[in-house]
């Protein structure tokens, strides 16, 4: 799906602008022109061009100053400077300031074609690179969706069914069940997979930040808006937008979101240009959206717009059959990433893992295995490597940091706060142990 | 708009055989009647003494204002060296989806490049150039197919490598502008 490369010609001479315009238009480019640097900068604030071809000598602001300002506005812009009075100094200065190339007027027709073709190739490669990166991230994440239980098979079947369509999807499930992984799997199996999947964690942002994040903003739209910025909807053009924790968005955002979903058109914050974007929406929440609608906390029209397909990801305690497979997968994953020899797990330890309640779901299991690989000494994960003994770990622990704190305290108590012995047992040096004690505020009991 | 014909305006002295061959090739390629007329323009006004060339941009405007009409595609034919302000030389130029264009055979002869002359080759190159500029007036942009006459050519060698015909892709685009083309050529 090759798109048309856009070129902005900046030159104070009308004849030059006209000749370049005609030349490029015959080559099939989208071309616009400006007679001064100021006008060009104004145009660049509201519209983005792939290539800027600018004269150096212009009344008012010269081409070199304009080049610096364009680079401030968008560092990756491709600017080619041209002049009728070539000097080595200006050429060197232009290249130092980030110009893609430097040409002397008049050019040989072949040079001009080559120059623009090379610039276009660079733009195409950069775009392909970005798309492939996002695709690799997507595919890597889909590997994490592990499970052979009936509950998980049902989820995988639903993913397969929904992926080929364009319908909005709401993924529900407890925290840590892997809702984002399901979203990535849908995207990776959809016809949109060659385009980006853009994630937004709605719960982490205030209303105004979320607005700017989703719709983008124009330079000067608010304090700190120093540059034009594309919004997530714009970035997700031809791809998928994933809105996590959708239940947390404000009533105003619900109205704005509904409008965008209906028209697929919007304007950036502080802007007046209508932007259209073709994206698919996937939302996730750990709350009961229907219940929120009944309580009047979530708009009914938005709910029906989003909830075309609903996928429920079951909690880990309802699919204990998957635990051995998940454990094996996480052991392999962390041994590889930590450059450790392949480990296995003791049968009793695995049995204990299968009996656990997992309020933090798969994320909690993953953290346990990661911790066991970090603190475990041998090739086999045993009961003592897992934070499941007696009452050592409360079910509410979710983060690795909490687990680390608990484990250090346990070892310190075991060795009666003998720092040297405890450090040796933990396989860390004494200074590190002192730092950890200070960081976690640990004190001997009594 | 259905374009009914093509007009070639000969400016200055152009050999009879060149005109005859170009008329024949253009008519055959676009399946439209081609008429030829003489254009009396004082081209000295368009001469740039510093470059010792003729300003193609201005000549194109002149051809458009004096000879072009809405139901005709008009190409001005020249035998002088053409330039546009930004480029060292051009073989021709046209308004994309416009009414007119220009083409010159000045730089199409082998003698300009120190090779012995060959009238047949110049005629072939001139035919391709005129068809290329006419293609632009019908809205065709440069094509990437190596043999298509709409491929961009900056050297005479490039012109020699391509055919005098529009490729099937460009032809399908062209048939939207010239409906009579649909069944006549493939």
Q: How many Cα atoms sit within 13 Å of A34 on the Cβ side? A: 23
B16 is catalytic: no
Query: For tokens 């060292």, what's the residue?
Result: B88
Q: Which of B94, B95, B152 sits opposite A113 (nearest CB)?
A: B152
> Using CB atoms and an 8 Å cut-off, which of residues 112-141 of chain B contact chain A?
136, 141
d(CA A433, CA A431): 5
> Using CB atoms and an 8 Å cut-off, which of residues 34-53 of chain B contact chain A?
none
Residue A126 scores a pLDDT above 60 = yes
Q: Please check whether residue B63 is in contact with residue B76, taking contact to mean a CB–CB distance below 8 angstroms.
A: yes
Residue A66 CB contacts under 8 Å (≥ 6 apart), including other chains: A10, A37, A40, A41, A54, A58
Instruction: Tell if the CB–CB gap between A106 and B86 is shorter than 8 Å.
Output: yes
- A138-184 residue pLDDT tens: 555 566 678 888 888 888 889 988 988 889 999 999 988 989 889 98
d(CA A312, CA A173): 6
pLDDT at position A320, please? 86
* β pairing state of A280-285 and A101-104: unpaired
- B37-82 residue pLDDT tens: 999 999 999 999 999 999 999 999 999 999 998 889 999 999 999 9
Q: Please check whether residue A135 is in contact with residue A193, taking contact to mean a CB–CB distance below 8 angstroms.
A: yes
Residue A304 scores a pLDDT above 80 = yes
Helix, strand, or coil (residue A349):
helix
Instruction: Tell if the CB–CB gap between B154 and A23 is shorter than 8 Å.
Output: no
d(CA A346, CA A343): 10
- A193-237 residue pLDDT tens: 888 889 999 888 888 888 888 998 887 777 777 777 888 998 888
Q: Please check whether residue A422 is in contact with residue A433, taking contact to mean a CB–CB distance below 8 angstroms.
A: yes
Q: Using CB atoms within 10 Å of the CB of residue A258, give its burial: 0 to 12 exposed, 13 to 18 middle, 19+ buried.
A: middle
Minimal C-alpha gap between A15 and chain B (Å): 6
Instruction: Tell if the CB–CB gap between A22 and B83 is shorter than 8 Å.
Output: no
| Concatenated DSSP letters of A247-314 | GGS-HHHHHHHHHHHHHSEE--BT----EE---EEEEEESS-HHHHHHTTSS-HHHHHHHTTEEEEPP
The residue length of chain B stands at 186
Residue B182 pLDDT grade (very low, low, confident, very high; cuts 50, 70, 90): low
d(CA B78, CA B24): 18
d(CA A216, CA B107): 52
Query: Which residues in chain B are closer than 8 Å to A26, comparing Cβ atoms?
Result: 94, 96, 136, 141-142, 152
Sheet strand arrangement including A197-201: A197-201, A240-244, A280-285, A169-172, A309-312
Residue B130 scores a pLDDT above 90 = yes
Query: Which residues in chain A are closer than 8 Å to B85, comparing Cβ atoms?
Result: 13, 15-16, 19, 105-106
Minimal C-alpha gap between A112 and chain B (Å): 8
d(CA A19, CA A22): 5
Q: List helix spans (H) across chain B.
A: 16-30, 56-67, 119-137, 156-161, 168-177
Lowest mean pLDDT among A71-80, A166-175, B173-182: B173-182
ipTM of the complex: 0.76
Backbone angles phi, psi at B39, to 5 degrees: -110, 115
In angstroms, what CA-CA distances link A27 with A143, A184, B102, B151?
Answer: 44, 39, 17, 9
Query: For tokens 């000494």, what's the residue?
Result: A377
d(CA A392, CA A341): 28
pLDDT at position B180, please? 65
Q: Is the dihedral of CA A387, A393, A399, A404 positive or negative?
A: negative
Residue A392 pLDDT grade (very low, low, confident, very high; cuts 50, 70, 90): very low
Residue B3 scores a pLDDT above 70 = no
- For residues B127 and A77, which has the higher predicted lDDT (pLDDT)? B127
pLDDT at position A271, please? 82
In angstroms, what CA-CA distances link B89 with A13, A53, B124, B143?
Answer: 18, 20, 20, 21
Which pair of structure tokens corresponds to residue A352?
A: 């204990």
Backbone angles phi, psi at A78, to 5 degrees: -100, 115
| Concatenated DSSP letters of A80-142 | EEEESS--HHHHHHHHHTT-SEEEESSBPHHHHHHHHHHHHHHHHHHHHHHHHHHHHHHHHHH
Instruction: Tell if the CB–CB gap between B88 and A19 is shorter than 8 Å.
Output: no
Q: Please check whether residue B99 is in contact with residue B69, taking contact to mean a CB–CB distance below 8 angstroms.
A: yes
d(CA A269, CA B78): 55
Mean pLDDT of B175-183: 69
The residues pairing with B83 across neighbouring beta strands, listed in sequence order, are B55
Q: Is A35 left (phi over 0), alpha (psi -120 to 50) or beta?
A: alpha
CB of B181 less than 8 A from some CB of A: no
Mean pLDDT for chain A overall: 85
Instruction: Tell if the CB–CB gap between A110 and B154 is shorter than 8 Å.
Output: yes
What burial letters (b/e) apply to B65-92, b meaning 16+ CB within 10 Å? eebbeeebbbbbbbbbbbbbbbbbbbbb
Residue A135 pLDDT grade (very low, low, confident, very high; cuts 50, 70, 90): low
d(CA A249, CA A243): 10
Which pair of structure tokens corresponds to residue A438?
A: 């200070």
Mean pLDDT of A373-395: 71
Which pair of structure tokens corresponds to residue A401?
A: 């940091």
d(CA A374, CA A155): 32
Which pair of structure tokens corresponds to residue A134?
A: 């996002």
Q: Which of B84, B86, B155 sits opposite A110 (nearest CB)?
A: B155
Q: Which of B87, B142, B155 sits opposite A112 (nearest CB)?
A: B87
């Amino acid at each position: 799906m090759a798109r048309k490369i856009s070129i902005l010609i900046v030159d104070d001479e009308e004849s030059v602008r006209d000749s370049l315009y005609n030349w490029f238009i015959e080559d099939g480019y989208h071309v616009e022109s400006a007679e001064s640097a100021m006008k060009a900068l104004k145009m660049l604030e509201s519209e983005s061009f792939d290539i800027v071809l600018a004269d150096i000598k212009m009344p008012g602001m010269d081409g070199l100053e304009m080049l610096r300002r364009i680079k401030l506005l968008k560092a990756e812009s491709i600017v080619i400077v041209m002049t009728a009075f070539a000097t080595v100094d200006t050429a060197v200065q232009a290249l130092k300031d980030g110009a893609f190339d430097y040409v002397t007027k008049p050019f040989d027709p072949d040079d001009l074609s080559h120059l623009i073709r090379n610039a276009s190739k660079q733009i195409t490669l950069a775009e392909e690179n970005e798309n492939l990166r996002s695709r690799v991230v997507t595919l890597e994440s889909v590997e994490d969706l592990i499970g052979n239980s009936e509950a998980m098979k049902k989820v995988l079947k639903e993913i397969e069914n929904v992926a080929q369509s364009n319908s909005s999807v709401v993924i529900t499930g407890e925290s840590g069940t892997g809702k984002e992984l399901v979203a990535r799997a849908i995207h990776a199996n959809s016809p949109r997979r060659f385009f980006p999947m853009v994630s937004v964690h709605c719960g982490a942002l205030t209303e105004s930040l979320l607005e700017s994040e989703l719709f983008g903003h124009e330079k000067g739209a608010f304090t700190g808006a120093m540059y034009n910025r594309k919004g997530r909807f714009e970035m997700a053009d031809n791809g998928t937008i994933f809105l996590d924790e959708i239940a947390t968005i404000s009533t105003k955002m619900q109205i704005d979101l509904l409008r965008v979903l209906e028209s697929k058109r919007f304007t950036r914050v502080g802007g007046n240009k209508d932007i259209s974007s073709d994206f698919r929406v996937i939302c996730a929440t750990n709350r009961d959206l229907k219940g929120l609608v009944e309580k009047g906390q979530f708009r009914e029209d938005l709910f029906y717009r989003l909830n075309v397909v609903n996928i429920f990801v079951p909690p880990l305690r309802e699919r204990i059959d998957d635990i051995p497979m998940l454990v094996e997968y996480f052991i392999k994953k962390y041994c590889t990433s930590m450059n450790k020899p392949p480990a296995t797990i003791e049968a009793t330890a695995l049995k204990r893992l299968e009996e656990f309640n997992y309020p933090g779901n798969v994320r909690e299991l993953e953290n346990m295995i990661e911790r066991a690989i970090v603190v475990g000494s041998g090739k086999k994960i045993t009961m003592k490597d897992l934070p499941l003994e007696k009452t050592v770990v409360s079910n509410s622990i979710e983060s690795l940091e909490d687990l680390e704190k608990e484990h250090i305290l346990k070892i310190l108590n075991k060795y009666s706060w003998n720092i040297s012995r405890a450090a040796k047992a933990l396989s860390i040096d004494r200074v590190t142990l002192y730092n950890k004690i200070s960081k976690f505020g640990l004190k001997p009991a009594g | 708009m259905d374009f009914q014909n093509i007009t070639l305006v000969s400016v200055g002295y152009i050999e009879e055989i060149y005109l005859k061959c170009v008329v024949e090739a253009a008519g055959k390629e676009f399946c439209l009647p081609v008429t030829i007329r003489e254009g009396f323009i004082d081209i000295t006004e368009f001469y740039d003494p510093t470059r010792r060339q003729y300003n193609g941009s201005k000549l194109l405007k002149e051809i458009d204002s004096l000879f072009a009409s809405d139901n005709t595609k008009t190409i001005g034919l020249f035998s002088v060296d053409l330039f546009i302000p930004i480029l060292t030389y051009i073989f021709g130029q046209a308004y994309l989806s416009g009414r007119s264009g220009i083409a010159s055979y000045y730089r199409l002869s082998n003698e300009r490049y120190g090779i012995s002359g060959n009238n047949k080759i110049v005629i072939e190159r001139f035919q391709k150039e005129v068809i290329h500029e006419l293609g632009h007036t019908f809205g065709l942009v440069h094509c990437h197919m190596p043999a298509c006459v709409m491929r961009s050519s900056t050297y005479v060698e490039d012109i020699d490598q391509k055919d005098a015909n529009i490729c099937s892709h460009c032809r399908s685009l062209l048939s939207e502008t010239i409906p009579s083309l649909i069944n006549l050529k493939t």
